[in-house]
Homo-oligomer: A and B are copies of this chain.
Amino acid sequence: MTLLLIIDILGTIAFAVSGALIAMKKRLDPFGIVIIAFVTAVGGGTLRDLLIDTDITWMRDTTYVYIIFAAVFLAVIFRKKLQYVRKSLFLFDTIGIALYTIVGVEKGIAADFPVVICVALGTISACFGGVLRDILCAEIPIIFRKNIYATACIVGGFAYFILRETPLTDDFVVIISGALVMLIRILAVSFNWSLPNFYPEGDSKQKLK
């Protein structure tokens, strides 16, 4: 479906650019920037495919590889202008994670995994590129501290299974559960939501290294 392909490409671009920006902040060299962008964009899907034991998409269809190269190239060239497209990138990123969540869930269903594992695979697809990126940068993954991102994927993943039991057509199931991921993420960012934390207020900013 053409629309899904466009969303997929926009999402890949947004993920790759966000990876490249973080790599530049860490002052990595061009090889490091490309690898971090690459891992951010395809790492989640790769881990998902290794866990499922299926073919890894980008290794057969190199479209993604070239899109990532192009995105990194542009991100490096225009690195000082990127704040002007930040909103677009956020939007691409948001529809990207919605799509990857659904794709991961559907790959899990296709391989006959239980519901909770399918939701986990969706969340891994959408979120673990960023986890691997942070590990490669020797940081505690940001998503383990400000996780509304992952929560949106988990909620959207379960919504997919609930909606499947309704008389809705498959297309609507995908669209509604994807939209739910986007909505939660956008609301969370707008209102600065975070999960409850269990630590006394006073020192809540300390021990973070």
Contact = CB atoms under 8 A, between A and B. Distances in A.
Interface of A: 23-32, 35-36, 46, 50-51, 53, 55-56, 59-60, 62, 65, 76, 79, 113-114, 116-117, 120, 131, 135-141, 143-147, 150-151, 194-199, 204, 207-209
A27 B114 contact: no
Given A29-B146, A51-B56, A138-B140, 8 more contacts: A26-B207, A27-B204, A32-B145, A32-B147, A51-B59, A59-B117, A62-B117, A131-B136
A46 B150 CA distance: 21
A50 B53 CA distance: 9
B144 A29 contact: yes
A156 to B, nearest CB: 14
A31 B124 CA distance: 12
B62 A144 contact: no
Q: In the complex, which of the residues A29, A195, A198, A208 has the most CB atoms of chain B within 10 Å of its own CB atom?
A: A29
Q: How many copies does the complex hold?
A: 3
A92 B5 CA distance: 46
A113 B31 CA distance: 22
A29 B136 contact: no
A149 to B, nearest CB: 9
Contacts of A31: 143-144, 147, 150-151, 195
Contact of A195 (B30, B55, B199): B30
A63 to B, nearest CB: 10
A46 B194 CA distance: 30
A197 B151 CA distance: 37
A110 B24 CA distance: 36
